[in-house]
Structure formats: structure tokens, C-alpha cells
Amino acid sequence: KTGAIIGAEALIRWQHPERGMISPAEFVPLAENTGLIVPIGEWVLRTACKQMSVWKSKGYQIDVMAVNVAGPQITRTDLVSLVKCALAETRLDPGCLEVEITEGFVMHDPRQTIRLLHELKALGILLAIDDFGTGHSSLAYLKHFPIEKLKVDQSFVKHITGGKHDAAIAQAIITLGHSLDLKVIAEGIELEEQQKLLHSMGCDEGQGYLFGRPITAKAFEQLLL
Ligand code: MN
């Protein structure tokens, strides 16, 4: 509605000394299979909290830093302790950190996840369900999740102006989210028509190439300035 920057999502790229920039689509699945995703994820969380803490102390107008958390970080490590430590080390206001967990993972073991989400919530952070609409959601569980936000998967946004089906799904997710007192953010907005349509549907927030491509922290700071 305002066009203002409300937050940032921490993304990772691999600058390889010989092969150049390597896409996360290439190395994240590998990191997940080898277990390296655990130390990488830990580094990402700590680095993102540190960066956000610096930006907040400089007084920039930014509300939230979103950090993606992978399944193995939840099943193989103590995510709650990690988040707690990262917040303490960086003295970041917990209300400025949003942890994103994919719908596919959340629904894998909903009972276990509800417990974890409540423990994370108790730290004062925000929680979002990522890639919503693609992960076999159980609506019966959704109402028990202590979350703030649904992220409409980019696959629905991509063809939203092209056919009535994707528009209908996006509208349904927005309506569902609002009925549960959740905010809804659309992922992967690339065109103004998509933004206009989503806005008319009542979608609260948006992200994607229309607003900004992935950039370095330094470049993002220029944007905030
Ligand atoms: Mn995400």
C-alpha cells in the first residue's frame, strides 16, 4: 500500500574462487544431503542477526529480517538454543527476527512442529510459513501454529494474471490467512500487473524482482539510505 521497505530476507550465494558465483539451487541441496546445511544455516542466522542489529542501531527504517531455516537444522540441532544465542550475542530485538520454515517441512510432523514453534515464539521472534500452497497443508493444524505470516509460493504469483486458477488460489490463501489473523506476503512478484492484482486482492506485503533483486548487505544499506 505504501511502497515502503518493511524488511529483508537473508539469502545466500557462494562466491567460488574458480567457478565464480554458484547458485543456491546448486549447492543447497548438496549441503542438505551432506549435513553441511547445519553449520551453514547457523552462520546465516548469526550473520543476519548481526547485520540487522547494526542497521537497527543506525536507525534505519526496517522492521524485520527474515531468515530461512532448513529441515535438518530443526531435526538435527537445537534450533531454539541457536536462535536464543544469536539474539543474545547480537543484542537484536527478537521482534525484528522472522524465522521462515517451509510448509512442506512443517506439515511433515505437525505435532512436533507445533511444540517447536511455541518454543521459538516464546523467545519473542516472528514466524512465517514459507512456500505456502505447495506443501500438502493440513488446515486443521494451521490454526494451532503460533505464526504471524503466510508466504504465498511464487508459483501461484508467476501466472496470476494469466489464468483464473492461480488467481483463485492466491485469493484463497489471502482470505484464509486473514481469517486466521495472519499477514500474507506474496513471493516472486516481477511485474506491476501482478503487484496491482495482489494489492486488489488484499495481499499485505510483497517481495520479488519488481521491488529488488538479491543484493549485498552493503547495497541494501544504500537502498535504506
Ligand atoms: Mn524464504
Write out pLDDT tens, residues 99-157. Answer: 999 998 888 888 889 999 999 999 999 999 999 988 777 788 888 899 999 999 999 99
CA pair distance 186, 170, nearest whole angstrom: 9
128 Cα: distance to centroid of ligand 1 (angstroms): 9
130 Cα: distance to centroid of ligand 1 (angstroms): 5
193 Cα: distance to centroid of ligand 1 (angstroms): 23
Quickly state the pLDDT bin for 182 (edges 50, 70, 90).
Answer: very high
Q: Residues lining ligand 1 (ion), CB within 5 A?
A: 68, 100, 130
Q: What is the pLDDT of residue 146?
A: 95
User: 58-62, 103-107, 181-185, 205-209: which has the minimum mean pLDDT?
Assistant: 103-107
Write out pLDDT tens, residues 62-112. Answer: 999 999 998 888 888 899 999 999 999 999 999 999 999 999 888 888 888
Q: What is the mean pLDDT of residues 6-33?
A: 93
Q: What is the pLDDT of residue 135?
A: 76
Q: What is the pLDDT of residue 180?
A: 93
Q: What is the pLDDT of residue 115?
A: 93
5 Cα: distance to centroid of ligand 1 (angstroms): 17
200 Cα: distance to centroid of ligand 1 (angstroms): 23
184 Cα: distance to centroid of ligand 1 (angstroms): 13
pTM for this one? 0.94
129 Cα: distance to centroid of ligand 1 (angstroms): 9
57 Cα: distance to centroid of ligand 1 (angstroms): 25
68 Cα: distance to centroid of ligand 1 (angstroms): 5
